[in-house]
Every structure is written in C-alpha cells, then in structure tokens.
Amino acid sequence: MTKTLAIAVATYNQGDVELRGMIYGLLAQTNNNFKTYVCHDGPSIDSTKAFMAEICAKYPDNFEYIESETRRALWGHPGRQYALDVCEESYITFTNADNLFMKDYVLFINRCLTAYPGTDVFTNTIVHNYFNYNPFHGDKFAICQTDFANFIVKTDKAKQVPFRVNEFAADGHFIEDFKKKFPTHTRVHIPHILAVHQ
C-alpha cells in the first residue's frame, strides 16, 4: 500500500549515531503513514548498511535503503533527487540524517493533508542547533522558516523541479525554483515546531 508522505533522508556514514536517532524518531511516530528513503552517498564503511538492512527487514512498508556505487560528495543532493525520482507517495519532504522529528510530525502532516486537500506546499517551523557551526554562528539555537525537514511538497509538482545537485544550498534553491515554476502555488504553514536540525 502506497503511503501518503515520502521522507528522503540523505546520509554518509552516520549509522553509528546520527542516523539511528533519526530512524528511532521515525519509529516512534504516532502515525505510520510514511515511507522513508535513506539514500547513502557511496558504499557505507560504518554500520549504516547493516543497521538499515535490519530496519528495512522489520519495517518494509516504511523504510527503503539506497546506496550509490560511488561517492559524489555533493551534500547528499543526488540522493535526494533519486528519492524524488522513485517515490510514489503524494507528498515528499527532504531531510538530513542529523535531523530529529517530533513524535507527532507525521500525524500533523497527514492531518493537514486531509484538512487542506490539494495544497502544493506545507511548511512547519524547526529549531536549528548551530552548536556544530560555532565559528560561523556562535553557540545558539535559531528558529528557521526555510530548511530541510520543514517543507513538504506535492510530489507530482516536485518532480518537475530538479535539485541543483552541484550546489551546496540546493534546498533553498529548490524552494526558489519551485516558486518560479509554480508562481500561483498554494501553501499552508503549520504553526508548530515539528523538527530539530542538529
């Protein structure tokens, strides 16, 4: 059975810590109407492949693992593009392995999809932890309106807006390109913090 929400997770050898937090957070969701595509950039040299094999075997309806033959080192964008190309779900969101979803993330999204049928884009607020970016931002948290994990896009339209896979800020460019492609798009903002970007 096809799920409603696709979650594209880009990762590179984060299976020992970050990816596990992401996956365990998805397993704790109060609504399981989602399919997660974990896209690994090149062959895994840590526990990622074995960990995801176990998860996919236990939860085949909710998880799929894709590993590219070679590493491209393009911030995970080719993996996100691959997930977008193959997914069949009605909506898709893009994230990194170091993001954490609140346990009601999928529930809120699916409630909004039901309440606002046909909407092109849903956004939610996330907290961005800048501790890992200390030289640039200082030790602080920030509320973000545009970042991975906080925009959910109608898949059929998203497929018409390819990722600029060679650019670092492809997530921001994706939103800009989507708005240019569909200037009359409809958007609903969900006034909740539903994710934390580590």
pLDDT value of position 137: 44
pLDDT value of position 56: 97
Residue 151: pLDDT band (50, 70, 90) is confident
Residue 143 has pLDDT above 60, yes or no: no
Our count of domains for the chain comes to 1
For residue 89, the 8-state DSSP code is: S
CA–CA distance, 80 with 38 (Å, rounded to integer): 9
| Strand partners for 37 | 8, 64
pLDDT (tens digit, 9 = 90+) per residue, 117-138?
999 999 888 776 655 544 444 4
Number of separate helices (H) and strands (E) present in the chain: 7, 9
Tokens representing 48? Answer: 């990622």
Q: Give the CATH number, domain containing residue 173.
A: 3.90.550.10
What share of the chain in percent tops pLDDT 70?
86
What is the CB neighbour count within 10 angstroms for residue 61?
12
The more confidently predicted of residues 58 and 43 is 58
Q: Can you give the pTM of this predicted structure? A: 0.89
pLDDT (tens digit, 9 = 90+) per residue, 60-100?
999 999 988 888 766 677 888 889 999 999 999 988 888 88
Residue 146: pLDDT band (50, 70, 90) is low
The more confidently predicted of residues 17 and 104 is 104
- What average pLDDT does range 23-44 have in this prediction? 93
Residue 35 has pLDDT above 50, yes or no: yes
Q: Where are the beta strands (DSSP E) in the chain?
A: 5-11, 34-40, 63-67, 91-96, 99-101, 121-129, 141-144, 151-154, 187-197
The residue range of the domain holding 147 is 5-197
